[in-house]
Amino acid sequence: MVDVGTRKRKAPTLRASDWEPVKCRIIELHITRNISLPDVQEHIKKEFGFEATLRQYRSRVTQWSLDKNVKKKEMQFIVQKQQERSIFEKDKRNRVFRVRGSVVEPKKINRWKERNRIADDELCPPTPTAGKDQPFQISLPSVNVLSQYPSRS
């Protein structure tokens, strides 16, 4: 029988307003300086006296759409677009894929394809949900797009 007295206490509920004073600092440390979330948690505790569990930090970072990891559906979408381009538009340049503002390196895409056993000549199955609500950006490297229409002054 499990003794109820030895259970870990539930972390206090933190509202969005509780996170506002430390949000910019968390973004600076975790995203800009690339510091791990456990280390960010320590910095924030020392600097602001703000206490939250690592799970709460991860949840909040996800709510702010600042996840660093590329999700499975996002990567499937990227691979699908990459394959479509290599099959149907061979004469065009390679695309640069961005997820939540960060470039997804070709090395990372290739590693994911190897891990999931997807050959270059095999089409990745379409992902109906990917790309609709996701913060994707697909662009060509170093291409400036100018408007074809004259500006209305």
**Domain edges within the chain:** 14-63, 72-139
Straight-line distance from the first to the last Cα atom of the chain, in angstroms, rounded to the nearest whole number: 79
Q: At residue 117, does pLDDT exceed 50?
A: yes
User: What is the chain's Cα-based Rg?
Assistant: 21
At 66-93, the pLDDT tens digits run 888 889 999 999 998 888 887 777 777 7
What per-residue confidence (pLDDT) applies to 127? 57
Higher pLDDT, 91 or 146: 91
At 24-37, the pLDDT tens digits run 999 999 988 999 99
Task: Indicate yes or no: pTM above 0.85.
Answer: no
Written as six digits, the tokens of 72 are 């499975």
Higher pLDDT, 90 or 63: 63
Per the prediction, the chain carries an average pLDDT of 79
H-type helices in the chain, by residue range?
A: 16-27, 37-48, 54-63, 72-88, 106-115
Asked if 83 and 77 touch (Cβ cutoff 8 Å), the reply is no
Strand partners, 102: 99
